[in-house]
Structure formats: C-alpha cells, structure tokens
Copies of this chain bind each other. A is one copy, B any other.
Amino acid sequence: MKKIMNKPQDSVTQLLNGIAFAHDDCLKRIPQTGIMLSQHIEPNKVAVISGGGTGHEPAHSGYVGKNMLAASINGPIFTPPEATEIFEAIKQADQGNGVFMIVKNFEADVANFLAASALAKANGHQVAHVIVNDDCSIEKSNFKKRRRGVAGTVFVHKIVGAAAANGLDLASLTSLATEVVASMNTLGVALAPGTVPGSSVPQFSLDVSDISFGIGIHGEAGYRTEPLESSEKLANELVNKLKIHYRCYPGMKMAIMVNGLGSTPLLELYVFANDVRRLLALEEIEVSFKKVGNFMTSTNMSGVSLTFLELKEPSWLAYLKEPVLTYAW
C-alpha cells in the first residue's frame, strides 16, 4: 500500500507537527505530547476538550480553535491517548471554570477519559463529560445496537463549543450535550477498506462491487454487504434506517452531515447529498443545517456516513451557525 509517509512509527508525531505548522493561527502543539491547544482559550469560560486515536483527520484537531474546542488529545493511530496525557490537557485548558470532555463511545476511550477525569477531580479541577454514541448500526451476529461514537461527534463539538463560548456553565453544558447526543444518529457505509500506516493489509475484505453497511471508523466490519447500485438507492437505505429513530413530521427541523470516510471524492459526496436532499424534501423535513465534506475519517477508507440531528431547540441551530476559527469546521 503506497502512502506518503516516512517510518510508520513516526507518522503521528509528523502528522501533529504538520498540523501545528499549517494551522498556527488556530492551535499549537504542546511539545512531546499529543495535545493540541487552542490559540484562543478564553478566560472565564468552560474549556471544552475532546480527542481519541489519530487516523480520523481532520478530527479532532480540526475543531480546536476559537468558539469550539480548547484542546484535542491525540493518541496513536486508532488508539486513544493515555489518561495522564488527557489529565495534562485538562490542566492546560482549565481557566478555573472547569473542563467539559466530549468522548466517543469506545471502551478504551471511555476508560481513559474517565480515569483522567478522576485524576483531575482529585487535583481540584471541575470536570464533566458526555459520551457520544450516535452510531445506530447493529452487530451482525446478534443485532445488538453498537452505539459507537462516530461522525456526529463533530456536531457535539460545534454545539457545545459555541455554548461554552456563550458562557454556559458545566451543568448546563452537560444537560445540553446529553440532549443533543440523544437526538442524533449516524450510519456509515464503506466502498473499500482503509489500510493503516505501516500495514500492507486492508482492514477488512470487501468484494470489488460490494459495499458494507455499518462499518466503524476504526475499520470495524459492517453488518451487511451488498452490491452498490446507485447513490439514490444508497441514500434511500440510509435515510430510511436513520428515520426509524425519529417521529418525523412535516416541518421537522434537522441538521445533517454527509461525511466522507477518507478517500471518497467530494464529487460523490455532493451527488449523494443531493439524493438525501430530495428524500427529505419528499417528507417535508426542513434541513436547517447541513455539512458535506470530510469531518471524521478512517485513514484512507472509501465511503460515506450520514448523520441526522433533530434540532429540538432553536439555540442548537444558533450554536451550529456561530462563526469559529478552526481549520476543519
């Protein structure tokens, strides 16, 4: 697998140095760590932080900056950062009003972030968190809901980041984030697996004409494979699967995200977005906010995910629209 890299084991450090170089208007790297700290941390506000393994670029550093995240903590490829490093980020980001952590629902991520929270609390910091579990795919074997944290996490970054910038306190942010997460669902489809740096083996196998529904952002295999027929049929399948989770009605307000998984060109993402638009218009659902692009990827996986967020409060839309200075929102 041809990749633009040097020694695979140096990829993360070189990635972080490249990001810090390219985006010094938004963030800075804390040397020798995976911590990216905003250049615009505001006093008297709750600091919102997030993180996880790398390999999901532009997540999470792309959302560090004015009015969004105060810091991201970036671990090895597909491996969450250590609790001690998350604790260090809490110390650096906390302005005395506490720290709010946005954590993707994967076992190791949750364990490390909660351990860091315990460490920080023991050292006098106020810390709260939300666990994002927007993935509505199922296990192939037992149909159990997976509820991993995937692309919708970026909507949580945006809404909670803007709310914190508007002065909400830790308790209010916790309540807001919990409601947003409960209103959000994502489903992803792979057209081709990714390959992590240093490996020559794709993360799963997929027939050349097939797609896989319900893949995870770490290359976890999906729950069903079938041939790719058209963007329309794919949109139909995803919209229907997501709609199950809502009581849809004419005039319902929705935010949607069409997220590329790493190597799918924008041309395809926009064709797909256009099909989603048509399907939601048929139901008279009002798409008040939309994002189309690469927001939470899985190295060079080819594919797309679709996220629905029901906008239950007008303030959520205002938070989504609030201007930011970050490199990827």
Contacts and interface: CB of A to CB of B under 8 A. Distances in A.
Count of identical protomers in the assembly:
2
A14 B274 contact: yes
B18 A272 contact: yes
A267 B191 contact: no
A22 B270 contact: yes
Nearest to A24: B290
Interface in A7-23: 11, 14-15, 17-19, 21-22
In this complex, the interface size class of chain A, counting residues with CB under 8 Å from chain B, is 35 or more
A271 B21 contact: no
Nearest to A256: B22
A188 interface: no
Given A4-B228, A265-B297, A267-B299, 19 more contacts: A2-B191, A4-B231, A4-B268, A4-B304, A5-B268, A11-B271, A14-B270, A14-B271, A15-B270, A17-B277, A18-B271, A18-B274, A22-B270, A22-B290, A22-B291, A57-B267, A58-B266, A263-B263, A263-B300
A80 interface: no
B266 A264 contact: no
B266 A57 contact: yes
Interface in A270-287: 270-275, 277, 287
A2 B228 contact: yes
A55 interface: yes
A232 interface: yes
Contacts of A272: 4, 18
Interface string A235-274: 0000000000000000000000010001111111111111
B268 A3 contact: yes
A315 interface: no
A123 interface: no
Contacts of A214: none
A55 B263 contact: no
A199 interface: no
A262 B302 CA distance: 11
Nearest 7 CB-CB pairs, A to B?
Answer: A18-B270, A18-B274, A263-B263, A57-B266, A4-B268, A22-B292, A18-B273
A86 interface: no
A211 interface: yes
Given A21-B274, A263-B265, A266-B58, A6 B197 contact: no
A215 to B, nearest CB: 14
A5 B208 CA distance: 16
B270 A57 contact: yes
A264 B263 CA distance: 6
A122 to B, nearest CB: 35
Nearest to A304: B4
A231 B11 CA distance: 10
B271 A22 contact: no
Nearest to A301: B265
A170 interface: no
Given A273-B21, A274-B17, A57 B265 contact: yes
